[in-house]
Amino acid sequence: MAAMASAGSAHEERYSASGDHAYKRWPRYRAASEGLQNYWYPVAFSKRVGRKPVPVTICGERLFLIRHDGKAFALDDRCAHRGVPLSMGKCWFAGTISCAYHGWTYDLADGSLRAALVDGRDSPIVGNKSVRVRTYPVEEHGGVVFVYVGAGEPPPITHDVPEDFFQPGVRVRGWLRTRKGDWRYAVENGFDEGHSTYLHRGVVWTWIRRKPAYRVVHVEQEGDWLVRTVDDVVEQVDYPGLGTWPHGFRPWQRNVVVRGSVRLPGWVRIQWPDWTAYEVFMGTTDGAHLSFMFAVSHARGLRAAWFGLRFWLYIRWAYMWQFNRQDQQMIEQVRIPPERLFRPDKSVTVWRAHCERNARGMQGPASETAVHLSDGDEPVWDDSDVFDESDVPAAGPG
């Protein structure tokens, strides 16, 4: 991953030198190479978090999760003494974690230093208010652990997480992975209309689902979500001098209508007829990202069991693995700037503009977040046919 990251930055450097920045039009978005601050993020399945610390890197920050007395906690994964990861430590006393190196023992609830095990009862370091590790607000909903990454008082988690997760009895299944590639490329891909009718031909998932030649869409805002809304579906096109696209016609394929949506801080939602797929992309560090995919069904009883079977036998393999692997291969290969956009990229540019205006905070190396483009700074080519202020829904969500 280090190799990839440096290749990426060498590429960016070459173009930066010529003044042709990536995301020139969106300087705040550009600065967020490690993610968006001040949001609640899903970071683990509840059942994976127990007495053994679970390290997580998100928005460039290293933290760990641990459970005590049924409650999950998240703390900075760095001992204040000499910087050893606390996730290498152990829980010797209820509600605390002791660092593996010299036994500094921190309170899970507030990160204060409760004891320095090799310095006795009268250790002067204990009680020093400036010696503590940062704690992160944690909540659990639908079997998922959420952490608030940011400064200040967190907003209610319902502002940041889809309501599906708060429904009583909801069963959430899914898959958490660290993947190569910029988290922004992953979100852009998730909401990108352009590739959706092209890239995914030839995998099992689309074997019975017809892909038209293309769709004409516009973006609407529904509450916190930006939704791609289909204005027209064109089944086949005859390109002059080339021929007909798509090739062939498979009579067994059904038209499946799905709605694709995106929301801050990086949730993508695909609404299948009887279940909903969510995917959240979160910056980590070194140009990698976390991908947390969810399958949510509101079926009950036998139908719920049937959905569970479908998930383990089919959805997880054909959708979450094979289908999404195609996206992942592209996300790893995107090299911008320069980029030239075209009409279907409106879904991408509307998301960028939305993020630019409404995202709470940016996370990136100090040098990047300091970027300020002068007012007169203009894109190097005219993208007015692709990006138009009027495409962006007026009311910015929360």
166, 207, 245, 314: which one binds a second copy (CB under 8 A): 245
93 contact choice in a second copy, ligand FES, none (CB below 5 to 8 Å, kind-dependent):
a second copy
How far is the CA of 366 from the CAs of 1, 244, 355, 360, 363, in angstroms? 21, 50, 20, 17, 9
51, 71, 209, 340: which one binds a second copy (CB under 8 A): 340
Tell me the window of 137-145, 192-200, 259-267, 388-396 that interacts with a second copy (CB under 8 A): 192-200
Q: By CB under 8 A, is residue 248 in contact with a second copy?
A: no
The two structure tokens encoding residue 41: 């993020």
Q: Spell out, one character per residue from 145 to 184, where the chain touches a second copy: x when CB under 8 A holds, - when not.
A: ----------------------------------------
Q: By CB under 8 A, is residue 125 in contact with a second copy?
A: yes
343, 357, 396, 398: which one binds a second copy (CB under 8 A): 343
Looking at the Cβ atoms of 160 and 188, the one nearer to a second copy is 188
Looking at the Cβ atoms of 104 and 387, the one nearer to ligand FES is 104
| CA 123/CA 114 separation, integer angstroms | 10
230 contact choice in a second copy, ligand FES, none (CB below 5 to 8 Å, kind-dependent):
none
Angle between helices 183-191 and 324-333 (to 10 degrees): 130
Residues with Cβ within 8 Å of 272's Cβ and at least 6 positions away in sequence, in order, are 256, 258
> Least distance in Å: CB of 366 to a second copy?
7
Q: Find out whether 295 and 310 touch, Cβ atoms under 8 Å.
A: no
**H-helix or E-strand containing 28?**
helix 27-31
Looking at the Cβ atoms of 133 and 282, the one nearer to ligand FES is 133
> Least distance in Å: CB of 30 to ligand FES?
19
Tell me the window of 49-57, 94-102, 164-172, 305-313 that interacts with a second copy (CB under 8 A): 94-102
322 contact choice in ligand FES, a second copy, none (CB below 5 to 8 Å, kind-dependent):
none
Give the three-class secondary structure for 191: helix
Enumerate residues 269-298 that contact a second copy by CB under 8 A. none
**Of 242, 239, 236, nearest in space to 210 by CA:** 236
| DSSP assigned state of 154 | P
Rounding to the nearest 10 degrees, give the CA dihedral for residues 362, 366, 369, 373.
180
Q: Is 339 exposed, middle or buried (0-12, 13-18, 19+ CB in 10 A)?
A: middle
Q: By CB under 8 A, is residue 247 in contact with a second copy?
A: yes
| DSSP assigned state of 212 | -
The two structure tokens encoding residue 233: 């579906």
**208-218 core/surface letters (b: 16 or more CB in 10 A; e: else):** eebbebbbebe
Tell me the window of 165-173, 193-201, 218-226, 296-304 that interacts with a second copy (CB under 8 A): 193-201
91, 100, 230, 373: which one binds a second copy (CB under 8 A): 100
Angle between helices 183-191 and 346-358 (to 10 degrees): 130
238 contact choice in ligand FES, a second copy, none (CB below 5 to 8 Å, kind-dependent):
a second copy
60 contact choice in ligand FES, a second copy, none (CB below 5 to 8 Å, kind-dependent):
none
Cβ of 367: how many Cβ atoms within 10 Å?
A: 8
92 contact choice in ligand FES, a second copy, none (CB below 5 to 8 Å, kind-dependent):
a second copy
Enumerate residues 60-89 that contact a second copy by CB under 8 A. 78, 80-85, 88
Q: Interface with ligand FES by CB under 6 A: which residues?
A: 79, 81-82, 84, 99, 101-104
Enumerate residues 212-231 that contact a second copy by CB under 8 A. 213-214
**Of 89, 281, 63, 87, nearest in space to 190 by CA:** 281
> Least distance in Å: CB of 213 to ligand FES?
15
Give the three-class secondary structure for 3: helix
The two structure tokens encoding residue 220: 């609407």
Enumerate residues 356-385 that contact a second copy by CB under 8 A. 366, 381, 385
> Least distance in Å: CB of 334 to ligand FES?
7
Q: Find out whether 41 and 138 touch, Cβ atoms under 8 Å.
A: no
The two structure tokens encoding residue 168: 């009583």
